[in-house]
Amino acid sequence: MCGIVAYIGHKPAKELLVEGLKRMEYRGYDSAGIAVLNGGLRCIRAVGRVAVLEDKLTTVDDLEGTIGIAHTRWATHGEVNEANCHPQQDDKHAIAIIHNGTIENYATLKTYLKGRGHSFTSATDTEVMVMLISELYQGDLEQAVRAALKEIRGAYAIGVICANEPDTLVVARKGSPLIIGVGAGEYVVASDASAIVAHTTQAFSLDDEQVCKITRDGFRTSTLDNIAVTPEVRQLEIDLEQIELGSFDTYMMKEIYEQPERLRLTMKGRIKSRDGQIVLGGVSKFTRELVRARRFVLTGQGTAYHAAMLGEYLFEDLAKVPAKVEYASEFRYRNPIIVDGTVLVAVSQSGETADTLAALHEAKERGALTLGVVNVVGSSITRETDAGVYLRVGPEIGVASTKAFTGQVAVLTMLALYMGRRRYMSVEACADLLSQFERVPEMIEKTLEQNDHILDVTKKYVDQENWLFLGRGYNYPAALEGALKLKEISYIHAEGMPAAEMKHGPIALIHDGMPVVFIANQGPQYDKVMLNIEQVKSRGGRIIAVATEGDKQIETIADDVFYVPHIADPLSPLLTVVPLQLMACHAAMLRGHDVDKPRNLAKSVTVE
């Protein structure tokens, strides 16, 4: 969730590090800091945005070194103040560290270190790490880091420098992402490729419990037991154009509008609609196991959980295989039953979500076949699953996920059809769905044409503090996603639920003027949804409906309507969610909020 960037080379480190921090601002943070070696260790930290740190740096001299580390912190241990900012440092050996993750046994280690004469100025687990490295330091920073990490329990991605070794940067990871960009006589290390791509397109990822010592002449990667390993240097999948705003004011709006083109890339080479075929190279080695699977468990958090819910519906409906969706954070601690023939599907944009990784590890330990539905190439989930399918939607900068959600749903749809065709579905039935599926991008483009109308409707209700989002069948998860989008960026309280569940208690919340968003497309449960609308309308609720083009009946009862093209019900959430994304984005901007950096949230949640 925090951002790490480190540099060693021949360029001034300060500007490069600050630029890297700016590129990772979307990840979520509350403070920032930088440390540079220039004849000694200089560390500057500030509470607030990177711009606050940047202003502070203009008043500081002696920051012209060519090796340094920088960090944006999202508080886990200790409140948000300068003392708890990163980098944390030890004065005895002039060692500084940046750290993502959480150390579970930090309290025990802190007691030990206090007994050894160390004094602490922060409440962070990170300061414990740097003090432990200092305690073990005997002139070899790499060895001290390796020895310290053997005593630590928890998750970490770290960068460490020491004034006594001004030509050495040591980095390591376990359970938190870290990428090393390889340039000509220079190296850029970051927790996100966006901080690297401006300087080099060649990079490699560290695996868990690996340490890398970097100098200007090269690098050496090894395990905690000092066994050398050879990483695979690969081409980064992103470029600068993908992470720039272009003509848009916010990344979220840009990414909403990118969905048609990105879904075309998601489908490219994977669909043969005339033949009723799906081609998924990432899972082809396990086709037999997937077709014969007795049970699927889909897991994720937040938006990925809502996509996984749709996966549950799709697998049972289209592939006729038992499926269950689980919150990843609950799965690990629930002593889940994994029977022979179970497949776990881990859904994540970043591929680094800590809870989802933990669920994946638990399922693998119990013998499940594991699949990843992930956006980021080379991420932890992609490396630790047996197989998987990439989303191909490109980097998602906005904290509130949009194109990743539709990408996840599209991939899960293809997986369901991939199995369904091999289990029971006829060529004709599969071909019909695929031909409609291929038209989803152009249907989304048509839906986006209503943006101005959606803005006008949002203005009518933006001051209301309580909203309901209701849907049935496939569009119940879409209603949950609409509610999540609204509350996470506009800070309006919103609940999503099945439309029928509203009668069993939540109807008591309905009051005169309350906005209630119904997904009322013309699917199998259309008549039931219309009855639910009548029940809300009679109690004074204001109805905002997402309906199918040509539906005149909905206009007689709804206060406002957003239309989507007609499509088969299993594919409808790919369309109905789009007006809800736009409405949430407009609501946040109308209320004056930072759409791309909502308070208290991080893009990639790499701590439990």
Given a contact cutoff of 8 angstroms between Cβ atoms, the answer to whether 306 and 481 are in contact is yes
Q: Give long-range contacts, CB 8 A cutoff, 24+ apart: 424-431.
A: 424/320, 425/276, 425/318, 425/319, 426/276, 427/275, 427/276, 428/276, 429/276, 430/276, 430/277, 431/273, 431/274, 431/275, 431/276
pLDDT at 607 over 60: no
Q: Is the pTM of this model over 0.75?
A: yes
Q: How far apart are the first and last CA of the chain?
A: 11
- Strand order across the 466-471 sheet: 493-498, 466-471, 515-520, 542-548, 560-564
Relative to beta strand 202-205, strand 234-235 is antiparallel
- Strand order across the 95-100 sheet: 88-90, 95-100, 156-162, 169-174, 210-215, 218-223, 228-229
Arithmetic mean of pLDDT, 280-288: 92
Contacts of 501 (CB under 8 A, 6+ apart): none
CA distances 560 to 515, 563, 577, Å, are: 10, 10, 16
204, β-bridge pairs: 180
Cα separation of 472 and 495, whole Å?
14
pLDDT at 180 over 90: yes
pLDDT at 332: 80
| C-alpha closest to that of 547 among 461, 475, 455 | 475
Q: pLDDT-based confidence at 80, cuts 50/70/90?
A: confident
pLDDT at 591: 96
CA distances 160 to 65, 88, 308, 590, Å, are: 15, 10, 38, 43
Q: Which residues of 332-357 are buried (b: 16+ CB within 10 A; e: fewer)?
A: beeebebeeebbbbbbbbbbbbbbbb
Domains defined along the chain, listed by start: 3-241 (3.60.20.10), 246-438 (3.40.50.10490), 447-593 (3.40.50.10490)
Cα separation of 100 and 534, whole Å?
50
Q: pLDDT-based confidence at 379, cuts 50/70/90?
A: confident
475: its two tokens: 């569009």
Residue 311 φ/ψ, nearest 5 degrees: -60, -40
| C-alpha closest to that of 287 among 346, 359, 343 | 343
Least confident piece of the model among 310-319, 381-390, 450-459, 503-512: 503-512
Q: Which of the following is catalytic: 14, 254, 485, 603?
A: 603
Given a contact cutoff of 8 angstroms between Cβ atoms, the answer to whether 188 and 200 are in contact is yes
What is the greatest pairwise CA distance in the chain?
A: 79
Arithmetic mean of pLDDT, 164-172: 96
444: its two tokens: 């989304």
As a whole number, the mean pLDDT across the chain is 91
521: its two tokens: 């497309």
Q: pLDDT-based confidence at 82, cuts 50/70/90?
A: confident
Q: Where are the alpha helices (DSSP H) in 208-322?
A: 251-267, 287-292, 303-318
Summarize pLDDT for 96-129 with one digit per residue, the tens: 999 988 899 999 999 999 999 999 999 999 999 9
CA distances 70 to 34, 191, 388, 408, 459, Å, are: 4, 11, 33, 32, 41
Cα separation of 42 and 13, whole Å?
12
**Catalytic residue flag (residue 552):** no
Given a contact cutoff of 8 angstroms between Cβ atoms, the answer to whether 74 and 49 are in contact is no
Q: pLDDT-based confidence at 239, cuts 50/70/90?
A: low
91: its two tokens: 């004065």
Cα separation of 115 and 397, whole Å?
45
Arithmetic mean of pLDDT, 140-161: 94
Q: pLDDT-based confidence at 467, cuts 50/70/90?
A: very high
**Catalytic residue flag (residue 603):** yes
Length of the chain: 608
Residue 419 CA, distance from chain mean position: 27
Q: Which residues of 65-81 are buried (b: 16+ CB within 10 A; e: fewer)?
A: bbbbbbbbbbbbbbeee
